[in-house]
Amino acid sequence: MSDHPDSTATQNVISASRATDRRTQDEKPSTILLNSSDDVLIALRAIAVGETVSDGVVAIHPIPAGHKIARRRIEAGTAVRRYSSVIGVASATIAQGEHVHVHNLGMSDYSQDSNTFGQDVRPTPLASVQRTFNGYVRADGRVATRNYIGVLTSVNCSATAARMIADHFKGRLSRLSEYRRRRGADAQERMRT
């Protein structure tokens, strides 16, 4: 096993994919554990009340796809972790198997020990090969692309939702190819219609 900081998360993903919690070998796992220190699992699909998911957790509420389910009991006032990062504080005691969302997760003046802040930071490796992209240079020297729709997130917690949004539109935006070579206001006007 690697000492790389992400190796635990990778092993958790592998473990989740090998789990057989009430499913056949052909079915995908119902949840994913991003880091072994997390208090929550992420639902990869809708989970019904009474369904057993990873770690033997039984859902006590319906859990929508992309939402969080408590891995263990979380006392009110306790910091809640996802991907080993604090995502909020339990505003009420959260039972194992409960849906974790805005009704029981809030923000507070969470204070992290200054000796642990950023302890997992590591340098971003630089690309060994220079990359290019299919774009164009604007008159003012800036570069841009056309006909790309980006679904971006500002926090890790919304990455699953962004992936679901992007997946929803796969194969549904074929009309964009009609405008590939158009430029300027004409293309913008045609895209609105």
pLDDT of residue 9 exceeding 70? no
d(CA 28, CA 155): 26
Q: Which residues contact 23 (CB under 8 A, 6 or more apart)?
A: 29, 30
144 with 102, same domain: the answer is no
At 18 the three-state DSSP class reads helix
Q: What is the CATH number of the domain that holds 99?
A: 2.30.130.110
Domain co-membership, 12 together with 81? yes
Residue 25, domain extent: 7-106
Closest CA to 57 of 46, 44, 41, 77: 41
Q: Does residue 47 share a domain with residue 86?
A: yes
Instruction: Answer yes or no: do 151 and 80 share one domain.
Output: no
Cα–Cα distance list, 168 to 15, 151, 162, 164 (Å) = 27, 11, 10, 6
Query: Both 11 and 92 in a single domain?
Result: yes
Q: Which residue has better confidence, 79 or 5? A: 79
> Do 78 and 147 lie in a common domain?
no
The SS3 of residue 191 is helix
Q: For residue 23, what pLDDT band results from cuts at 50, 70 and 90?
A: very low
- The two counts, helices (H) then strands (E), for the chain are 3, 9
Is 30 a domain residue? yes
Residue 43: which pLDDT band, with cuts at 50, 70 and 90? very high
Of 106, 121, 148, the position where a domain reaches its end is 106
| Tally of structural domains, the chain | 2
- Determine, yes or no, domain membership for 2: no
Residue-averaged pLDDT of the chain: 76
Are residues 152 and 81 located together in one domain of the fold? no
pLDDT tens-digit readout, 104-155: 999 877 566 555 666 777 888 888 887 777 788 888 988 887 666 778 887 7
Q: Are 89 and 79 in contact (CB under 8 A)?
A: yes
The residue whose two tokens read 């802040």 is 117
Higher-confidence position of 181 and 167:
167
- Report yes or no on whether pTM surpasses 0.95: no
> What's the pLDDT band for 57 if we cut at 50, 70, 90?
very high
Total residues belonging to the chain:
193
Q: How far apart are CA 47 and CA 69, in angstroms?
A: 9
Residue 24 amino acid letter: T
In this predicted structure, what is the pLDDT of residue 59? 97
The reply to whether 126 falls in a domain is no
Q: Looking at the domain assignment, is residue 127 inside a domain?
A: no
Q: What is the pLDDT of residue 94?
A: 97
